[in-house]
C-alpha cells in the first residue's frame, strides 16, 4: 500500500464517485442506455473478452478460458436482454386507479465486492446494473483477481470516453486490495453488493451501509425414475464441467432413485464421469480439504489435472470425478460445496427419501440457494417448492446455466443469487437492477370508500360469534 491510510484512500475514491454520480444522475434515459451499452461492449468485444478471460485463468488459476469467454458474453448479453426498454429515469410507472406515480432515483455510490472465481463477469454484471440506475460504483475485487479487473477497467474506460460518461464513474483501488480497504469502503458508500466470501457478507451486514449479500451454494439435484435420463445426464455433465465448476450453481450432489441407479451410473460414465473407488475417494478427500478449507491448488481445476496431481489413475478422458456417499454433515465433507468437477452421488429408495435427503444437505450447507430436479412428474416439482428451504427449484435444466438466468427460463440474468433469510440475505431472488434503485411514490387523491365491519367479519361471526352479527355495520 502507499503511504496513505485506508481511510484516506477510500475517502478519495468516494469523493470522486459522488462527484461523478451527481453529474450522471442528470443524464436522460438514452444517454444512460448508451453508457450501459458501452460497458457491455467493453467485455463482449471478442478481442477484449479473449484477453480478459485468458488473463483471469493465468492470474487466478481458476476455471478455463474458453468457458469464461462464453460466460462473459452470455451473462452480459442476457443482462442486456433483461434491461432492454426498461425505464430507470424519471417516471417509470403510473397506476391511475390507485393514484400512484413512481419515480426512479439512484441510490448514490455503490460498492461491489467481487470474487476471484468470476473476476470479470461478476463486476460487469454489478457495473451494468449500477449504471442503468444512474449510480457510480467502486469495485473491490478479490486480491487474487484484482489484476484482471484493473485491466478490464482500462478497456471499460476506453468505451466510456467515447460516449461522454463522467470521469470516475467506475473506480477501483490503485493499490493492493486488503481487508482493511474493503471494510472501510463498505462503511462509506450508499449501497454494498457482496458476492463471494461469507466473511465479507457478514462484514457488509455490519457496515452500517445498506448491504445486499448473497449466500453460499451447494446444489443438490434429484433424478427420479420418470426422468429422461440421457437428457438429464448430458445437462448435468455440461453444467458440472463448465468453467471447472467455479459457479455456486454447479451441481455438487446428485440423488438417484435406486431403481435407476445402476443405469444412471452407466450413462454418467458415457458422459466421462468416473466413479472413484474407496481408496481414490480417501486420497481425494485428504487433499481437497486442508485444515477444513478447500484446497486452492485443486479447486476449479479439471478432473484430469486433479487426477494427475493426486495420482488417482483414472481415465485420461475423465471430466467428472464421482464419489459415493451415505452421510451428510461435517463428518462427510463430500456432502458440501466442492468448487471442482467432483460430484457426490447418493442412492435412495424413492422420491420421498430423495426429498428428505436434499433437505438434510441444504440444512448442512447451501440452504436457501436452490435445488434441481429431473422428472416428468409435475406434482414432485411443486412438492419440492413447497417443502424445501430454497429460493429456486430448477426443473429439467443444466443447473449452472439456469439458476443465474437463461435464455430458456424467466429468471433474471445474474451472478449473485439471494438465499433469503435462510442465509440471512436481504434478498431471495437474483440480484437485478431493481436492487440499485430508490423509488419515490407520488400519492394522489382518489375516490374513497370507507371499509365496513360486515365486509370483513360477516363470515367469521356467522361461524364463531353469531350474536354480534347484528352489530356489524
Which positions are catalytic? 248
Give the integer Cα–Cα distance in Å for 278 and 324.
Answer: 9
C-alpha cell at 50: 479473449
| Strand-pair category, 293-294 with 109-114 | unpaired
Give the integer Cα–Cα distance in Å for 430 and 249.
Answer: 12
Give the integer Cα–Cα distance in Å for 140 and 13.
Answer: 11
Contact 346, 255 (CB under 8 A): yes
Which residues contact residue 256 at a Cβ distance below 8 angstroms, ignoring those fewer than 6 apart?
223, 264, 345, 346, 347, 348
Amino acid at each position: 500500500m502507499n503511504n496513505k491510510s485506508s481511510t484516506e484512500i477510500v475517502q478519495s475514491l468516494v469523493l470522486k464517485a459522488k462527484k461523478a454520480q451527481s453529474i450522471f444522475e442528470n443524464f436522460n434515459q438514452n444517454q444512460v442506455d448508451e453508457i450501459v451499452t458501452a460497458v457491455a461492449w467493453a467485455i463482449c468485444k471478442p478481442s477484449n473478452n479473449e484477453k480478459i478471460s485468458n488473463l483471469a485463468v493465468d492470474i487466478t488459476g481458476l476455471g478455463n478460458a474458453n468457458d469464461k469467454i462464453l460466460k462473459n458474453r452470455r451473462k452480459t448479453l442476457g443482462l442486456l436482454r433483461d434491461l432492454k426498454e426498461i425505464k430507470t429515469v424519471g417516471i417509470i410507472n403510473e397506476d391511475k386507479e390507485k393514484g400512484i406515480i413512481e419515480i426512479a432515483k439512484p441510490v448514490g455510490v455503490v460498492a461491489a465486492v467481487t470474487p476471484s472465481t468470476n473476476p470479470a463477469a461478476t463486476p460487469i454484471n454489478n457495473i451494468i446494473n449500477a449504471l442503468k440506475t444512474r449510480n457510480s460504483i467502486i469495485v473491490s475485487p478479490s486480491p487474487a483477481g484484482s489484476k484482471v479487473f484493473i485491466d478490464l477497467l482500462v478497456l471499460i474506460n476506453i468505451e466510456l470516453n467515447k460516449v461522454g460518461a463522467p470521469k470516475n464513474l467506475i473506480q477501483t483501488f490503485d493499490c493492493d486490495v486488503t481487508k482493511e480497504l474493503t471494510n472501510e469502503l463498505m462503511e462509506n458508500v450508499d449501497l454494498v453488493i457482496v458476492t463471494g466470501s461469507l466473511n465479507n457478507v457478514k462484514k457488509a451486514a455490519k457496515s452500517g451501509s445498506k448491504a445486499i449479500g448473497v449466500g453460499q451454494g451447494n446444489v443438490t439435484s434429484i433424478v427420479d425414475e420418470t426422468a429422461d435420463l440421457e437428457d438429464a445426464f448430458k445437462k448435468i455433465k455440461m453444467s458440472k464441467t463448465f468453467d471447472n465448476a467455479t459457479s455456486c450453481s454447479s451441481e455438487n450432489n446428485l440423488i438417484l432413485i435406486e431403481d435407476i441407479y445402476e443405469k444412471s451410473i452407466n450413462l454418467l460414465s458415457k458422459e466421462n464421469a468416473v466413479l472413484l473407488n474407496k481408496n481414490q475417494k480417501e486420497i481425494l478427500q485428504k487433499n481437497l480439504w486442508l485444515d477444513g478449507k478447500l484446497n486452492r491448488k485443486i479447486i476449479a481445476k479439471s478432473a484430469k489435472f486433479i487426477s494427475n496431481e493426486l495420482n488417482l489413475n483414472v481415465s485420461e478422458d475423465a471430466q467428472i470425478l464421482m464419489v459415493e456417499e451415505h452421510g451428510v454433515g461435517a463428518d462427510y465433507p463430500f456432502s458440501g460445496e466442492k468448487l471442482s468437477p467432483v460430484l457426490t452421488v447418493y442412492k435412495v429408495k424413492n422420491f420421498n427419501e430423495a426429498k428428505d435427503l436434499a433437505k438434510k444437505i441444504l440444512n448442512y450447507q447451501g440452504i436457501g440457494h436452490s435445488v434441481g430436479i429431473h422428472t416428468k412428474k409435475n406434482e414432485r416439482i411443486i412438492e419440492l417448492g413447497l417443502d424445501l428451504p430454497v429460493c429456486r427449484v430448477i426443473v429439467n435444466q443444466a443447473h449452472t446455466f439456469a439458476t443465474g438466468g437463461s435464455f430458456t427460463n424467466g429468471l433474471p440474468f445474474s451472478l449473485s443469487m439471494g438465499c433469503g433469510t435462510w442465509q440471512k440475505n436481504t434478498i431471495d431472488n437474483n440480484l437485478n437492477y431493481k436492487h440499485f434503485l430508490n423509488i419515490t411514490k407520488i400519492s394522489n387523491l382518489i375516490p374513497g370508500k370507507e371499509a365496513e365491519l360486515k365486509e370483513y367479519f360477516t363470515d367469521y361471526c356467522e361461524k364463531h360469534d353469531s350474536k354480534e352479527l347484528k352489530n356489524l355495520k
